[in-house]
Amino acid sequence: MKNRNIMKGNLILTLAAIIWGCAFVAQSVGMDHMGPFTFQATRTIIAGFVLIPVFIISDRIKMKKGTYKKMSRDELKSLVVGGVLCGLALCAATNIQQFGIIGTSVGKAGFITALYIVIVPFLGVFMGKKIKAHNWSCVLFSVFGLYLLCINENLSFSIYDLYILICAFIFSIHIMIVDHFVKKADPVKMSCIQMFVSGGISAILMFIFEKPAVAPIIDAWIPVLYAGVLSSGVAYTLQIVGQKDTNPTVASMILSLEAVFSVLSGAIILSEIPTLREGIGCALMFIAIIASQLFDQYSPKDLILMISKKGRHKKQP
């Protein structure tokens, strides 16, 4: 049952990574019509409203089944505190990322953002979590794959690259906050709170630094709705649900697949066909993810025994 829950969580996180990968295209297109704060405020507020009926319907289903439990004071506190902290981290990370996308390529932005797969284990060590040796190996393997996937020119560090690097660090903090609160609060309700917190702060910044208008938002309704409903509302909720049964280091590696899917979505939507080097990078990323999942559930000795047993069965007439 435990292994099944881990696999389920990993599949949910992979779906979130797919949605986020396609969101890089939506963010890039959306920025042609409006400022960064306007885009982020619109998408996250939409996401918050999308999630309200989700947890209402969920609670009603639980009431009919007789499984609904009223939250205790400690659970309510964890929900509010976790939601607010996630919202603050999400607001900072997504807005800084949006500024970074203005002046750097989508590929480089995807690579630098995905560096949270390296940052998360380091943060975990400072928080008293033990990182297994195979996880470190898979992280390094993933980083090399990401390099081949996204860096096609000489790596020069501009102010926009720095924005994305800062965003990667804050996303790492967000992952650790989710890991801390996810077992204490309802995932959908916590995600809803984080969206309204992030959207509210972004809206304040939007009115201070930009001149928002309805017409540009309507013109970019497809990328806005994708980023709001799927990328913000669905994917960030999937992240919280998926992390419930997944090690944060493995979770960060799976979520980093958004870089792979950003390249694939660019090929499908924008006709940007990946090169051989990018294809090798994708392959290395998938190998690292599969290895991290296998070694997180089984020891190398158990895997060798499983493979040898299967080999013996095949040889039998």
**pLDDT single digits (tens) 189-207:** 998 999 999 999 999 999 9
Alpha helices (runs of H) in the chain, residue ranges in sequence order: 2-30, 36-65, 73-103, 106-113, 116-126, 133-150, 159-181, 187-209, 214-219, 221-225, 236-242, 248-255, 258-269, 276-297, 300-315
pLDDT at residue number 306: 64
pLDDT at residue number 195: 94
Task: Report the alpha-carbon distance of residue 249 to residue 119 in Å, rounded.
Answer: 9
Say whether pLDDT at 168 is over 60: yes
Say whether pLDDT at 20 is over 60: yes
Q: If you average pLDDT over every residue of the chain, what do you get? A: 83
Overall average pLDDT of the 86-90 stretch: 96
pLDDT at residue number 83: 95
**Nearest by Cα to 240 from 24, 16, 20, 50:** 16
Alpha carbon of residue 84 to chain centroid: 18
pLDDT band at 45 (very low <50, low <70, confident <90, very high): very high
Range in 157-161, 182-186, 310-314 with the lowest mean pLDDT: 310-314
Residues 6 or more apart in contact with residue 77 via CB below 8 angstroms: none
pLDDT at residue number 147: 80
pLDDT at residue number 72: 87
Overall average pLDDT of the 30-54 stretch: 91
Task: Report the alpha-carbon distance of residue 2 to residue 266 in Å, rounded.
Answer: 36
Long-range contacts of 3-8 (CB under 8 A, 24+ apart): 3/297, 5/245, 6/245, 6/246, 6/293, 6/296, 6/297, 7/293, 8/245
Q: Where are the domains of the chain?
A: 2-315
Range in 107-121, 149-163, 217-231 with the lowest mean pLDDT: 149-163
pLDDT band at 254 (very low <50, low <70, confident <90, very high): confident
State the DSSP string of 121-144.
HHHHHHTT----HHHHHHHHHHHH
Number of C-beta neighbours around residue 222 at 10 A: 11
pLDDT at residue number 133: 76
Task: Report the alpha-carbon distance of residue 227 to residue 220 in Å, rounded.
Answer: 11
Task: Report the alpha-carbon distance of residue 100 to residue 159 in Å, rounded.
Answer: 8
pLDDT at residue number 207: 95
Tokens, residue 264? 């694939």
Residues 6 or more apart in contact with residue 174 via CB below 8 angstroms: 86, 89, 90, 93
- Collapsing DSSP to helix, strand or coil, 49 comes out as helix
pLDDT at residue number 153: 60
Task: Report the alpha-carbon distance of residue 16 to residue 288 in Å, rounded.
Answer: 18
Residues 6 or more apart in contact with residue 151 via CB below 8 angstroms: 107, 108, 111
Residues 6 or more apart in contact with residue 95 via CB below 8 angstroms: 36, 37, 40, 202, 205
Overall average pLDDT of the 239-261 stretch: 79
Q: Are 138 and 291 in contact (CB under 8 A)?
A: yes
pLDDT at residue number 246: 79
Range in 73-77, 86-90, 119-123 with the lowest mean pLDDT: 119-123
Task: Report the alpha-carbon distance of residue 263 to residue 278 in Å, rounded.
Answer: 8
pTM of the model: 0.79
Q: Are 238 and 106 in contact (CB under 8 A)?
A: no
